Structure 1
Amino acid sequence: MPMGEEVPAAEEPPVIDLSDITKPERRREIVRSISEACETWGFFQITNHGLDEALMKRTIEVFTEFFQLPDEEKLSIEAPQVPGGHSQGYFRPRKDGQNATEFLYNLYGPEEDIDGRPSQPPSFQSTVEAYVEAMDGLSREILGLLSEGLGLPRTTLQLYMGSTHGVRTNYYQPTQNLLENAFTVSPHSDPGALTLLLTNDVSGTQVKKDDRWVQISPVPCSFLVNVGDQIEILSNGRYMSVLHQGVPDEVQHRLTIATFTHPLPSTVVGPVPLLLDKSHPPLYKTQTYSSYFGTFLTKGLVGRSLIEEAKI
């Protein structure tokens, strides 16, 4: 898919500094900024988030090393084809050259096994496990900020979430190596609750805003955060899960590591009752996350059609 039309950097989603977040007045300021970003963009970047920058760098390095391994090594953990299912492992680029993006998808949590995870490079497992553990804490912090922005107790949104995180890492070939009309990650909204994206500082994430595609400029040592469909539902539409897509760079390889936070499959998700009254009726259906995600597995990346179908 060709890159969308870009707008000036001043019109990009905000970059929000999380420093001094434990100070009450500073925290209120951060909550206001994040709440406004979720209402107007559905996206924002965070800096001074407290995650170890050395760990972030090592994580980018081990994923890059994995994608640079010989094909036979990567294909040893190729994801099985499961009709209507969600398999884990390595996904190769399409043979027709129309999509040269390869990716790795795995689940990380207390009850998840290591099938489909890379054994090379040697430090891969320990590095990524440490990274996901750190990301679990960061996602909890952000969910707390989102809850406060809705006027809810800090733990409200976290109570709907599970303890397993999905990690999808995309490796994009430069466009100079692709066919003219090659595409990569199609426009979509995320079916889960929250996505935190780490990149190798090569731009390519685009967000749909006012019918225009806005390319986000990566900030070193930052995370790009976006609202998923479940947060839109829980917030009764106050926070937006918006269309976004990933595109390659012209000359550089691009790496993105997306960590997904989502509810347990059995969790019943609907607008938070504390947000509802006679003036604010529920705008979305209530259903289990397994039902919602099952529809996603069947339909795939289909714009915002799933969240639109969830509306009453």
Structure 2
Amino acid sequence: MEVEGSPVMRVQSIAQAGKSEVPPQYIQPPSDRPNNDAGGKSGGGVDVPVIDLGEDSVREAVGRACRDWGAFQVTNHGVPIRLLDDMRKVGLSFFNECPMKDKLMYACSPDSAAAEGYGSKMLVDSDENHGVLDWRDYFDHHTLPLSRRNPSNWPHYPPNYREVVSQFSDEMNVLAQKLLGIISESLGLPSSSLKDAVGEFYQNITVSYYPPCPQPDLTLGLQSHSDFGALTLLIQDQVPGLEVLKDSHWYPVQPLPEAIVVLVSDQTEIITNGNYRSAVHRAVTNSTGARLSVATFHDPSKTRNISPAAEIVCQSSPARYREVNYGDYMSRWYTKGPEGKRNVDSLLIDP
């Protein structure tokens, strides 16, 4: 546990110092900087799909989005809009109103992968990752299974923080299971196929805070990557920043206050044998205002082995991915880092 005076510097503290330049460890290499693909950033008038889950053609729409983008936004999703607003409010209150000494009571170890708590650095130091840091602070919560959920590890401020996160966790769990069912059906499989392959959800909720950045053209709030689990659900505030890669171009995901962003993750790509690809995405920064997002990750257990679904693999469609133990896959991600790549490609049998 960190104490005041810890050498680990929070990005919010750097931003509040009012410097005109970012420290060198936050400067991305030229090839990874957000202005490297200026033509793609506008998206050419094409937007990430927005799907109404109440529509009759929802399976077809979800299938197209998973195949073409690996990402989409959903409305009419059944999660109370009030709860989405409350989750954003308590996240902002923690970062903007809680004194630093109180935040550091919940600091996670910078040397432990996927540690619960308040942090800035996600990856474990190793010889394989090169140490460029994201312009972001975060709070990570272990929320499911219930045996992992210990609200005393979460912020005590604002007073309703722990209650809101618990309710949000439960609602996201219901929606993620519903979406996996729809994704299965969109492939012509029984609705339970993907849920059975993933098994019991191990859910984490990460509240990310991106302070204003004096040099947004040199930094990223979150480097390019695909999520390594099964399915990610994300809500944004009104400040743009999330971008999805499609056909070598970056497309902004427009903030819609009542929508939830769905990101297909690596294990779902494996289970669907590459019919649906995980979404490569990143977060860009800006110089004028802070941004907040809340990502809810739904992953298999570390002991789960993941492979292409038997219903998909046949003589006319051989397995394209090797079986992988999810715990091993996750450990490699945290040690090596995404480096802007899709780690799932390392499992291709015939790249």
User: What TM-score, normalized by structure 2, do the two folds share?
Assistant: 0.81
Counterpart contact for 1:168–1:258, Cα < 8 Å: yes
SS of corresponding position for 2:106: coil
Once the 2 structures are TM-superposed, how far is the Cα of residue 242 of structure 1 from its aligned partner?
A: 2.7
- After superposition, residues 128-207 of structure 1 pair within 5 angstroms as 128-159=165-196, 160-175=198-213, 177-178=214-215, 181-207=218-244
Hey, what does 1:3 align to over in structure 2?
Answer: 34
In the alignment, the residues of structure 2 paired with residue 62 and residue 187 of structure 1 have an alpha-carbon distance, to the nearest angstrom, of 27
Hey, what does 1:258 align to over in structure 2?
Answer: 295
Q: Indicate which of 75, 85, 90 corresponds to 1:62.
A: 90
- In the alignment, structure 1 residue 80 sits paired with structure 2 residue 118: no
Once the 2 structures are TM-superposed, how far is the Cα of residue 200 of structure 1 from its aligned partner?
A: 0.8
Hey, what does 1:284 align to over in structure 2?
Answer: 321
SS of corresponding position for 1:275: coil
Q: Tell me the alpha carbon deviations over residues 94-119 of structure 1, each in whole angstroms, 9 at most, x when there is no partner.
A: 9xx97441111121021113464212
SS of corresponding position for 1:67: helix
Hey, what does 1:13 align to over in structure 2?
Answer: 48
- Tell me the amino acid that sits aligned with residue 294 of structure 2: I
Once the 2 structures are TM-superposed, how far is the Cα of residue 178 of structure 1 from its aligned partner?
A: 4.7
Hey, what does 1:311 align to over in structure 2?
Answer: 348
User: What TM-score, normalized by structure 1, do the two folds share?
Assistant: 0.91
Counterpart contact for 1:98–1:179, Cα < 8 Å: no
Once the 2 structures are TM-superposed, how far is the Cα of residue 180 of structure 1 from its aligned partner?
A: 5.7
Q: Indicate which of 235, 242, 245 corresponds to 2:272.
A: 235
Hey, what does 1:42 align to over in structure 2?
Answer: 70
Once the 2 structures are TM-superposed, how far is the Cα of residue 187 of structure 1 from its aligned partner?
A: 0.4
In the alignment, the residues of structure 2 paired with residue 173 and residue 151 of structure 1 have an alpha-carbon distance, to the nearest angstrom, of 44
Structure 1: segments with no counterpart, 5+ residues: 21-25
In the alignment, the residues of structure 2 paired with residue 196 and residue 79 of structure 1 have an alpha-carbon distance, to the nearest angstrom, of 23
CA distance 1:87–1:77, change in 2 (3 Å) = same
Q: Tell me the alpha carbon deviations over residues 63-91 of structure 1, each in whole angstroms, 9 at most, x when there is no partner.
A: 100111221111111101335x3211101
Counterpart contact for 1:198–1:223, Cα < 8 Å: yes
Once the 2 structures are TM-superposed, how far is the Cα of residue 93 of structure 1 from its aligned partner?
A: 7.4
RMSD: 2.1
Q: Indicate which of 111, 118, 140 corresponds to 1:105.
A: 140
Q: Tell me the alpha carbon deviations over residues 226-273 of structure 1, each in whole angstroms, 9 at most, x when there is no partner.
A: 100000000000001132101123322110000001111111100000
In the alignment, the residues of structure 2 paired with residue 100 and residue 187 of structure 1 have an alpha-carbon distance, to the nearest angstrom, of 13
Counterpart contact for 2:42–2:252, Cα < 8 Å: yes
CA distance 1:9–1:257, change in 2 (3 Å) = farther
Once the 2 structures are TM-superposed, how far is the Cα of residue 291 of structure 1 from its aligned partner?
A: 1.4
Structure 2: segments with no counterpart, 5+ residues: 1-27, 123-131
In the alignment, the residues of structure 1 paired with residue 244 and residue 201 of structure 2 have an alpha-carbon distance, to the nearest angstrom, of 28
Count residues in correspondence: 302
In the alignment, the residues of structure 2 paired with residue 82 and residue 8 of structure 1 have an alpha-carbon distance, to the nearest angstrom, of 38
CA distance 1:247–1:210, change in 2 (3 Å) = same
SS of corresponding position for 2:147: coil
- Tell me the amino acid that sits aligned with residue 18 of structure 1: L
In the alignment, the residues of structure 2 paired with residue 164 and residue 290 of structure 1 have an alpha-carbon distance, to the nearest angstrom, of 12
In the alignment, the residues of structure 2 paired with residue 267 and residue 114 of structure 1 have an alpha-carbon distance, to the nearest angstrom, of 26
